[in-house]
Amino acid sequence: MNQVMVVTGGSRGIGAATSLLASRRGYAVCINYRSDADAAERLRARIVAEGGAAIAVQADVGVEADVLRLFATVDAELGPVTALVNNVGILETQGKLVDMSAERFQRVFTTNVVSCLLCSREAVKRMSTLSGGRGGGIVNVGSGASRHGAGGVYVDYAASKGAIDVLTLGLSKEVGAEGIRVNCVRPGIIYTDIHASGGDPDRVDKLAATVPMQRGGQPEEIAETILWLLGPQSSYVSGALVDAGGAR
């Protein structure tokens, strides 16, 4: 039977690199996207042109009804999910906590944390060996920000990534007996469009200069770590928070 992966926010950045690599490693892939249908369709077509299987599904994964529709579509078109990458994440403009609204906190937590809870719940229902599933793997994309507070300029984002760490630890214990491994990769400074939303276009280069390995990372390097965490080579790894940040 097919290995089926759902990648949330899979049309660009780390999500796109993961979708492409997963296809090359034999997964049928669901590329979830929220608004960029063109990018999702281009990636889907590229995967199919390479001989892979992929679908692109629009869904805001912070919205429960969208998540239910997403997983039902995957069931119908690819079969039950065996690997989930909770990749979506948003970063708003830099700022001080005292200037942040409750709406902003809610927006960041809904996208970064509630999405992870909703998608993980739907995946576990389908993967659990206790209810007839084949087992599987979940990788949450956290951030080094949960260790260092995102430099103190996005404390809301850092707090949401702290929640992802704890969600990983707790869920890995909850589903360990159900044939499901749950891990978290915590990227450092990676060259993607997320930095454009921070309000300082030079910030990513300034941050990359602070990395002990003397460079920022590429999305493909995080994708490799994610595929490792989902693959047989990491068969006894669960509940791990894996830093991929060049020692930063």
Ligand X SMILES: NC(=O)c1ccc[n+]([C@@H]2O[C@H](COP(=O)([O-])OP(=O)(O)OC[C@H]3O[C@@H](n4cnc5c(N)ncnc54)[C@H](O)[C@@H]3O)[C@@H](O)[C@H]2O)c1
What are 221's two structure tokens?
């390097």
Q: Choosing from 33, 157, 191, 236, which is the catalytic residue?
A: 157
Q: Pick from 128, 168, 192, 238: which binds ligand X (CB under 6 A)?
A: 192
Nearer to ligand X, 119 or 175 (CB): 119
Asked if 89 is part of the footprint of ligand X (rule: CB under 6 A), the reply reads yes
Asked if 84 is part of the footprint of ligand X (rule: CB under 6 A), the reply reads no
Contact between 183 and 127 under an 8 Å Cβ cutoff? The reply is no
Asked if 30 is part of the footprint of ligand X (rule: CB under 6 A), the reply reads no
Asked if 246 is part of the footprint of ligand X (rule: CB under 6 A), the reply reads no
Contact between 124 and 82 under an 8 Å Cβ cutoff? The reply is no
* Least Å from the CB of residue 226 to ligand X: 10
Q: Pick from 18, 31, 44, 60: which binds ligand X (CB under 6 A)?
A: 60
Q: How many residues bind ligand X (CB under 6 A)?
A: 27
Contact between 187 and 217 under an 8 Å Cβ cutoff? The reply is yes
User: Distance of CA 127 to CAs 54, 82, 139, 175, Å?
Assistant: 20, 6, 14, 10
- Concerning whether 27 is annotated as a catalytic residue, the answer is no
What are 75's two structure tokens?
């069931």
HSE toward the beta carbon, residue 184, CA cutoff 13 A: 25
How many helices (H) and strands (E) the chain has is answered by: 9, 7
What letter does residue 112 receive in the DSSP assignment? I
Stretch that binds ligand X, among 9-17, 45-53, 174-182, 228-236 (CB under 6 A): 9-17
Stretch that binds ligand X, among 13-21, 100-108, 125-133, 171-179 (CB under 6 A): 13-21
Stretch that binds ligand X, among 48-56, 81-89, 173-181, 230-238 (CB under 6 A): 81-89
User: Distance of CA 133 to CAs 81, 160, 178, 197, 237, Å?
Assistant: 10, 30, 9, 39, 20
**Footprint of ligand X (CB under 6 A):** 8-9, 11-15, 32-34, 60-62, 87-90, 111, 115, 141, 143, 187, 189-190, 192-194
Active site residues: 157
